[in-house]
Structure 1
Amino acid sequence: MISLELMAKHMAWANQEIYKEVQKLDDKVLDYYVVDPEWTVKTIMIHIAGAAHLYGQRLNGEPFSRFELKNTEGSEMIDELLTELNRIDKSLIENVDREDGEFTYTTSKGEQTAKVSEVLSQMIFHAGEHRAQIVAALDKHNERSINLDNYSVWGYTKSLS
């Protein structure tokens, strides 16, 4: 049976790799954005991890807790995000073998119901969408050292050998 396992593992790998590549750059890139100045590279990086944290809480039946960082600047922040994403993504990957039943969780909009596959699929799509946004913000400012083609599913499977 085909599952979301490959996609979830690719997502976790690509998140780690892109964050490490951003960390190699000057801290000023964390302030780059594409169109909306509220959505800087830094904000997007935190958003990816924070959203994954929430998806994980929902899938694992955990009560709501806010995603918070001790470090909010530069390389130390990225180190913390890498650690948090590793923890969160490992937990999320454990859900790929679950039965695809509906479950109920609470958000700021009240009680919601979704299938496990919906939340996992959204989590994977969400991270990919925002990784592309990070690279677009860098590209807009002529920083082209990160090529998303290097972080494809094929790039992931090749990294395993």
Structure 2
Amino acid sequence: MKTIQKMYEHLNWANQRILETLQSIGDENQDVFRLFSHILLAEKVWITRLQGLDSSRLPIWSDVDIEVCTELVIQNEESLTTFLTNLANTDLDKLISYTNSKGKEFKNSVRDVLTHIALHGQYHRGQINSRLRAEGIEPVNIDFITFVR
């Protein structure tokens, strides 16, 4: 549980750093904003699934502005913090059932879903950094080791 908790502290830190960078550059690069909003919307979908609620109508790709991203960063951090605070080690292997956006049903452990959320966001934050560099903007250092230092 300590490792998962640390992964989520890093996730929240990395999201905040990306958000601050995007706020400072304006909305010139819509592709970057679309990727960041995808991270946040996907987090919301997975949080909803972890809570045992229907996520089938929630978007995972949408053109949203920086204000919506800011709200999602705050909401997702609060929801994930609450979820993790109430989660016991024994709950990590509990299976959750959910239906994806295409209507297909799946079951995965809470542990696997939490791992997926953290890795999914890091993958797309890497894409964001690649696009920032291509635009001549300094990439955001979101390395885990930087976080733990």
2:78 & 2:147 partners in 1: Cα distance?
A: 19
Amino acid at match of 1:42: F
2:47 & 2:105 partners in 1: Cα distance?
A: 16
Q: Which has the higher contact order (CA 8 A, sep 6+)?
A: 1
Counterpart of 1:135 in structure 2 is: 129
* Counterpart check, 1:43 vs 2:37: no
Q: CA RMSD in A?
A: 2.5
CA distance 1:157–1:2, shift in 2 (3 Å): same
1:23 & 1:140 partners in 2: Cα distance?
A: 18
Residues 18-61 of structure 1, C-alpha deviations (whole Å, 9 max, x = no match): 111221113213x2xxxxxxxx1111111001100111111111
Task: Structure 1: give runs of 5+ residues left out of the alignment.
Answer: 32-39
Q: Kindly state the Cα deviation for residue 120 of structure 1 after the two structures are TM-superposed.
A: 0.8
1:76 & 1:114 partners in 2: Cα distance?
A: 32
CA distance 1:96–1:12, shift in 2 (3 Å): farther
Q: Counterparts in 2 of 1:30-109, with a 5 A limit?
A: 31=30, 40-64=31-55, 65-66=57-58, 72-73=64-65, 75-94=66-85, 95=87, 97=89, 98-107=91-100, 108-109=102-103
Identity of aligned residues (%): 23
* Counterpart check, 1:116 vs 2:107: no
SS at 2:108 equivalent: strand
Q: TM-score, with normalisation over the residues of structure 1?
A: 0.75
